[in-house]
Amino acid sequence: MRERMYAITTPEEADAFIDSQPVTAIFKAGTCHKTMQGWGNVEKILRERPEIPVGIIKVVEDRPASNRVAERTQIVHHSPQIILFRNGEPLFELNNWDITPENLEHLFREHLPEVQVENPQTGGKSNLEPYKRLLDAYLSGAVSEPQFTWTYLNMFREDASLRSQEEFTLLNSLFGNPDEHHIHPRAILQYEQENPQATPLRERVQALRAQLDTL
């Protein structure tokens, strides 16, 4: 399956990405809690629409890329912000706390009614592709460590009960979890902070990514 998350770091990359597909999305990521919550909502919506690529701009590090999007679209910069494009033209934007599941779902259905929504877990068939794409996005630098961590844990919380014991054990191994059977993201984040692991997260992600290919 085609990778759908891309790190955008320059104005030229922003232009090329927006024009690369008939439908694209740009997410401007800051460093605050709003960004983590907004990104989690965006990732969930796009997880169900895997044909739509999303370009991620870290506005602190790559502000010229963000400025280029604002200049091109005449949409005032916010962080976080999502802009959906069709044929290079913006269809809608959402900013800050307005990036909610309800607003996203309404606008995607309004502007892209022809895009079929996929259920990542249909017919009891296991699908690890959303995890693989998220791991790849983190390893490529498209998403930051806090954004990756929050998205991963919330994704796992949503489908942990649908996983086989083998998959659950493997996916649950990435972070320290004081509860062997349930996924509580905030509790896991607190546990990780209080009990730091010797192996850096990037190395753990690389090992998990390789293991997922064996299932």
pLDDT the model gives residue 120 = 52
pLDDT the model gives residue 85 = 97
Beta-bridge partners for 27: 56, 82
Asked if residue 48 has pLDDT above 80, the reply is yes
pLDDT the model gives residue 125 = 44
For residues 115 and 23, the answer to whether their CB atoms sit within 8 Å is yes
| Mean pLDDT, residues 178-200 | 82
| Mean pLDDT, residues 40-69 | 90
Asked if residue 28 has pLDDT above 90, the reply is yes
Asked if residue 10 has pLDDT above 50, the reply is yes
Token digits for 92? 């809608």
The overall average pLDDT reported for the chain is 87
pLDDT the model gives residue 124 = 40
Tens of pLDDT, residue by residue over 59-75, are 999 999 999 999 999 99
The string over 127-160, giving b where at least 16 C-beta atoms fall within 10 Å of a residue's C-beta and e elsewhere, is ebebbbbbbbbbeeebbbebbbbbbbbbbbeebe
